[in-house]
Amino acid sequence: MIKIGVVGCGHWGNNHVRIFNMTEGVRLGLCCDSDHQRVRRLHAIYPGLPTSLDHRDVMNDENIDAVVIATPTATHYAIVKAALTKGKHVLCEKPLTIKEKESEELVALARKKQKILMVGYVFLFNNGIVALKESIEKNSLGKIQYLHFTRTNLGPIRDDVDVTYDLASHDIAIASFLLGKWPIGASANAGFFLRKKISDAAFITLYYPNNVLANIHVSWLDPKKIRMLTCVGDRKMAVWDDLETSEPIRIFDKGVTKEPFYSDYGEFQLLTREGEVVSPLVKLVEPLRNQNAHFIECIEKGKTPLTDAVFAHRITKVLEAVQLSIKNKGRIERIR
């Protein structure tokens, strides 16, 4: 039996409490939030659940094996470090840290303590994204040419990080997961419409090896909620729509073919090819349930998580390059 503590019981932390409360082989331990009202709501939903207003109580509880951290991003470094130091396995919400050096330090600490440090890039546990990954690995789409992401909504507007850390971090994770590679460069522009120092909308281009591009549009200031990815290969194209529950993945047998070279001027043409549209069967399972089950499995079997600290550290490096590019008005920044 693995005993789980939860630090941060707001909207997303509550989801962790709900899922772990019904997970076989897991027992909820101390759940903590500094907000009195949130703690009272926990007691109303889960009578008898031990709670605290101080996250240090979770760290000091020797009966707790693992800790879920769902607090504001700026607090991640200190709380994750405290949990690892106390010998706890950790599942931290994304992004792991704001600064690359801090995430690098946590990678080293997790290795030293021989503890699981997993980061909640939950869309990698979305069955639609998993199905798309399988199609790419089977070469069903051909050579991937570019990815285009749209992740927009009217809010929720964060105070601790900007829109790139909040939203684009998901799409950086998805793109790198699908391609099996990491970007070597980034360029970005952002709008600061509500506040001077926190961007509300951003347009990002990531440059991957083999001349593959990923374009990301994220916004807190959009009238429509969209979570969509277009994946263009040289044989077929695919669209993932997270809000489309019946057919989240659609594969289009479309492309461009080159006519043979002719001697007469003007006879060389690029012709579009239209074919059928296929919607693979995707079993609908809550991605957070898949993610948290993976976390428990990694603890029990000593496996390396799909979204381990090394993975999260590389995303932080990309985010830092994006921030530098925004500062430099869209200049392409290399990612080492």
How confident is residue 271, by pLDDT bands cut at 50, 70 and 90? low
What pLDDT is stored for residue 174 in this prediction? 98
Over range 21-25, report the average pLDDT. Answer: 93
Q: Where are the domains of the chain?
A: 2-120, 124-287+316-334
Q: How far apart are CA 168 and CA 240, in angstroms?
A: 16
Q: Does residue 260 surpass a pLDDT of 80? A: no
186 close to 328: Cβ distance less than 8 angstroms: no
Q: Which residues, at least 6 apart from 168, have a Cβ–Cβ distance to it below 8 Å?
A: 151, 202, 204, 216, 218, 319, 322
145-183 pLDDT, tens digit per residue, is 999 999 999 999 999 999 999 999 999 999 999 999 999
Q: How far apart are CA 259 and CA 266, in angstroms?
A: 11
For the beta sheet containing 212-219, the strands, ordered from the edge strand earlier in sequence to the opposite edge, are 277-278, 249-252, 237-241, 221-233, 144-154, 212-219, 201-208, 185-191, 333-334
Contact 6, 120 (CB under 8 A): no
Could you tell me the pLDDT band of residue 235, with boundaries at 50, 70 and 90?
very high
The fraction of the chain above a pLDDT of 70, given in percent, is 95
pLDDT digits (tens, 9 = 90+) for 238-251: 999 999 989 999 99
Residue 257 CB neighbour total at 10 angstroms = 9
CA–CA separation, 94 vs 307, rounded Å?
10
**22: which 2 tokens?**
């019904």
The closest of 192, 17, 140, 1 to 9, measured between CA atoms, is: 17
Alpha helices in 99-147 (DSSP H): 100-113, 127-137
Does position 296 have pLDDT exceeding 80, yes or no? yes
Task: Please list, in sequence order, all residues whose beta carbon lies within 8 angstroms of the beta carbon of residue 283, skipping any fewer than 6 positions away.
Answer: 127
Instruction: Say whether domain 2-120 belongs to CATH 3.20.20.370.
Output: no
CATH class of 124-287+316-334: alpha beta
d(CA 14, CA 329): 39
In this prediction, residue 274 carries a pLDDT of: 76
Alpha helix stretches (DSSP H) within 114-233 = 127-137, 163, 169-179
Residue 259 has pLDDT above 90, yes or no: no
Burial class (CB in 10 A: 0-12, 13-18, 19+), 283: exposed
- The residue-averaged pLDDT of 243-264 equals 79
If pLDDT is split at 50, 70 and 90, which confidence band does 262 have?
A: low
pLDDT for residue 298 is more than 60 = yes
Residue 19 has pLDDT above 80, yes or no: yes
Whether the pLDDT of residue 111 is over 80: the answer is yes
pLDDT attached to residue 8: 98
What's the mean pLDDT in 216-245? 97
pLDDT tens digits, one per residue of 175-190: 999 999 999 999 999 9
**At 14, which helix (H) or strand (E)?**
helix 11-21
Q: Which segment of 137-141, 223-227, 280-284, 315-319 scores lowest on mean pLDDT? A: 280-284
pLDDT digits (tens, 9 = 90+) for 58-82: 999 999 999 999 999 999 999 999 9
Q: In the chain, pLDDT over 90 holds for what percent of residues?
A: 90
Band (pLDDT 50/70/90 cuts) for residue 254 is confident
Whether the per-residue pLDDT at 46 is higher than 90: the answer is yes
Name the band, by pLDDT with cuts 50, 70 and 90, for residue 234.
very high
Q: Is the pLDDT of residue 265 over 60?
A: no
> Is residue 264 scored above 70 in pLDDT?
no
For the chain, the average pLDDT equals 94
